[in-house]
Amino acid sequence: MTATPDSAIPHAAENRVIEPLYAEILRRNQGEKEFHQAVREVLETLGPVLAQRPEFVDARIIERITEPERQLIFRVPWSDDSGDIHVNRGFRVEFSSSLGPYKGGLRFHPSVNLGIVKFLGFEQIFKNALTGMPIGGGKGGSDFDPKGRSDAEIMRFCQSFMTELHRHLGEYTDVPAGDIGVGGREIGFLFGQYKRITNRFESGVLTGKGLGWGGALVRTEATGYGCVLFTAEMLRSRGESLDGQRIAVSGSGNVAIYAIEKAQQLGATVITCSDSDGYVVDEKGIDLALLKEIKEAGRGRVAEYAERRAEAVFVPGTGVWNVPCDVALPCATQNELHEADALTLVRNGVKAVAEGANMPTTPEAVRVLQEAGVAFAPGKAANAGGVATSALEMQQNASRDSWTFSHTEERLAEIMRHIHDSCYTTAERYGRPGNYVVGANIAGFELVADAMLAQGLI
């Protein structure tokens, strides 16, 4: 997916504090388009809080929070099943430890580069703050492409990756988890290698672990479930519910599958899902058991879903947002919902859009949705259920306990309600009622900035 081009902050001419700071960030981080986009989206909303809290400006919080505490880039050599040698690049950006150990996923996808990891790590700082849990922000990954690789190849890659990364991790230091291309299988291989090298069964060093060896119930479901629970809260604040709504979902990975599951549990009909080959439309409602069989068990493609289900059609390429819906949940990747898509969604009467993925909606598309009065939830609020449940996994690991599914799901629901309410009330407090982008950015920023002030110049 393409990023929007670099440009000055739109509508920021009036903001004399932020504009030069953003120009300097562009200059110092050249070519990192997704990072620029993520920073711009936050800075655009901070004017009012900087005006009310001049101590943040004096302490140079913006300059410090946009500069990662540490950026690691390393070589990951591995050999495939034929004995051919490959060299990938590994990344871990340890962005902010103001609120706790660095926390955030690992992404294995050929598009991964430093700018992508920095955008994800930057978003993670505020997302993690919003959860109310003691976790800092980080992100990592590799440009390794897991598609078509055998389990043995995945294992050798994960072992090589962890052989370098392990020295930077620890339950009090940096705690990775999954993201695109990294699920339970990869976390298993990474954990095994960490344990072998360090000779420590340190459960709290990774989250998303298997249930028999330190994993937590609900972590697998948490991001998708949380996104739908957040959507339900947004609709509730407008006097509506998810019951009976038509929902379009993009993606068919971890987040998409469990967003579909929770939406169906709450009485909605999910009519689409997708992967990078195309999308499926199933007017009768996605058959989730079939989708799980194809995607989770078989690691197959969504095209196969339409081959196996008479009610469904497969459409190659992008275009899922042309399917009329009441609610849209982009759950695949960054910049997958463009201005033209937003115009189509609005024309088709969409009521709510919630980002299951990180930054899937381009800034132009966000503007279209907000101006049309659509309830729009940014990823740092809507998809925070995943990392929040990772923090619950850490809590269980620290106390050597394991909670039931229903107890953990209730905690997740409480956390999502808390995030919704703090975004909602913060937006109101700063004179932008209903603007969850403003609410999420300011609420997250205030928590981190206050901690930075308290901890001195570091």
Q: Which residues bind ligand 2IT (CB under 6 A)?
A: 103-105, 124, 127, 177, 179, 207, 358, 386-387, 390
Q: How far is the CB of 356 from ligand 2IT (least distance, A)?
A: 10
Name which of ligand 2IT, ligand NDP, none residue 103 binds, using a CB cut-off of 5 to 8 Å depending on partner kind: ligand 2IT
370 vs 216: CA distance, rounded Å:
37
User: Of 123 and 275, which CB lies nearer to ligand 2IT in the complex structure?
Assistant: 123
Residues recognised as catalytic: 139
360 vs 376: CA distance, rounded Å:
12
Site for ligand NDP, rule CB under 6 A? 1, 105, 109, 111, 178-181, 223, 251-256, 275-276, 331-333, 356-358, 383, 386
The residue number with the shortest CB distance to ligand NDP is 253
452 vs 458: CA distance, rounded Å:
8
Q: How far is the CB of 11 from ligand NDP (least distance, A)?
A: 27
255 vs 411: CA distance, rounded Å:
19
372 vs 351: CA distance, rounded Å:
9
User: Of 162 and 227, which CB lies nearer to ligand NDP in the complex structure?
Assistant: 227
Distance of CA 232 to the CA centre of its chain: 19
139 vs 226: CA distance, rounded Å:
20
Name which of ligand NDP, ligand 2IT, none residue 118 binds, using a CB cut-off of 5 to 8 Å depending on partner kind: none
Q: What's the burial of 87, exposed, middle or buried (CB within 10 Å: 0-12/13-18/19+)?
A: exposed
Q: How far is the CB of 211 from ligand NDP (least distance, A)?
A: 16
User: Of 15 and 389, which CB lies nearer to ligand 2IT in the complex structure?
Assistant: 389
Helical (H) or strand (E) element with 327: strand 327-330
Q: How far is the CB of 32 from ligand NDP (least distance, A)?
A: 17
User: Of 207 and 408, which CB lies nearer to ligand 2IT in the complex structure?
Assistant: 207
Packed helices 363-371 and 339-347: angle between N→C axes, nearest 10 degrees: 20
User: Of 50 and 180, which CB lies nearer to ligand NDP in the complex structure?
Assistant: 180
Q: How far is the CB of 213 from ligand 2IT (least distance, A)?
A: 17
Name which of ligand NDP, ligand 2IT, none residue 207 binds, using a CB cut-off of 5 to 8 Å depending on partner kind: ligand 2IT
Helical (H) or strand (E) element with 385: helix 384-398
Q: In the numeric block, which tokens belong to residue 271?
A: 């009519």
Name which of ligand NDP, ligand 2IT, none residue 104 binds, using a CB cut-off of 5 to 8 Å depending on partner kind: ligand 2IT
Q: Where are the beta strands (DSSP E) in 80-173?
A: 85-96, 102-108, 137-142
